[in-house]
Amino acid sequence: MTFAPMLADKVKDRGGIDEILTGDHWVLERKIDGHRLAVHHRPGRRDVGYKRNGALTNVAKGITEMLAPYDTEIILDGEWVGNRTLWVFDMPVGFGCETCTLERRRDKLEVLFDQGSELLGWDRSSPMRLLDQIGGDERPDFVEALRGRGAEGVIAKQIGSMYRPGKRHTSWRKLKFTHDVDCFVTRLRIGGKDNFGLGMIGRDGDVVEVAECTRGAGDGGRVKIGDVVTVKCLYSTPEDKLYQPTYPKLRDDKAPTECTIDQLDDIRPDRDYEPLHLTTEGTS
């Protein structure tokens, strides 16, 4: 069988942001830029993982070995990062979790990792680790710390939420951090599509194309070559490219020569995720 992970709805407005930062029934997790992966452990059978689209995926041998001692069916939901670490944030199946709220599932998941640490030698070098979950008054500081490290965003979850395989639900919400970046238009109708190129002045003073953007949002339908636009993006890549630029807005108060590539230095994410919570110990 395949297992379809539960999906998060989007935070739609300022009120939604305030709710997840101050509401008593919300906890936060870092939104990690990896591959969604559910690991399915069945006693006596080789473990397999299912990506979000249901395709079979080979799971690292180390994860197979970590779960081998357990004689009960377990499904762990997490994010596979850097082809080396599965950051686990939920256990929808195993130890009675099928009928539990998020709060109870989290308790059981922490017990699993505590047992693994104490009895099976799981540690920070293991290929499977527990993702931080932050609640209470720490949430605003947690969000600011993530922004400072160039994180993609946060996932907010209601502590009373049930796990709904394959469903998108408002009891889980995702908030993506966006950044405003100034670029100039380099090309129009790229590849015959309704896209245009975005450029910046590179570190050597040459023109560097950093992204393509659609004309279907913001002022995209009115741009012409040489125009300066502000776009929103999630982050910049190590190759100095914008990730998911959108909603271009024309501006006439800035010259193309002022659109320098050093803007990207402050929005490049920390790819090697490490827990930010100061009380995190062991494998968590």
pLDDT single digits (tens) 232-247: 998 899 899 999 999 9
What one-character DSSP code corresponds to residue 267?
A: G
Q: Specify whether 135 is located in the same domain as 210.
A: no
User: Is beta strand 7-10 parallel, antiparallel or unpaired with respect to 168-176?
Assistant: parallel
Q: Do 172 and 247 reside in the same domain of the chain?
A: no
pLDDT at residue 15 above 90? no
Residue 282 confidence class, pLDDT cut points 50, 70, 90: very low
Asked if residue 125 is part of any domain, the answer here is yes
If asked whether residues 199 and 61 sit together in one domain, one would say: no
- Structural domain that includes position 235: 179-267
Q: What is the pTM of this model?
A: 0.80
Q: State which amino acid sits at residue 103.
A: E
Q: What is the CATH number of the domain that holds 218?
A: 2.40.50.140
Distance in angstroms (rounded) separating the CA atoms of residues 106 and 97: 9
User: What kind and span of H or E run contains 248?
Assistant: strand 246-251
What does the pLDDT read at residue 25? 95
Give mean pLDDT, residues 264-283.
60
Q: Tally the domains of the chain.
A: 2
pLDDT (mean) for 248-270? 93
Structural domain ending residue among the three candidates 149, 176, 203: 176
Instruction: Determine, yes or no, domain membership for 12.
Output: yes
* Structure-block tokens of residue 132: 């931080």
Domain boundary among 176, 208, 242: 176
84 plus 158 within the same structural domain:
yes
Q: Which contacts qualify for 206-210: CB closer than 8 Å, 24 or more apart?
A: 208/240, 208/261, 210/183, 210/236, 210/240, 210/241, 210/242, 210/261, 210/264
pLDDT of 200-223, one tens digit each? 999 999 999 999 999 888 999 999
Are 166 and 230 contained in the same domain? no
Q: Could you report the per-residue pLDDT of 88-130, keeping only the tens digit for each?
A: 999 999 999 999 999 999 999 999 999 999 999 998 888 899 9
Q: How many CB atoms lie within 10 A of CB 199?
A: 21
Q: 207 and 158, same structural domain?
A: no
CA distance linking residue 213 with residue 222, whole number of Å:
13
In a domain, 277, yes or no: no
Q: Is residue 2 part of a domain?
A: no
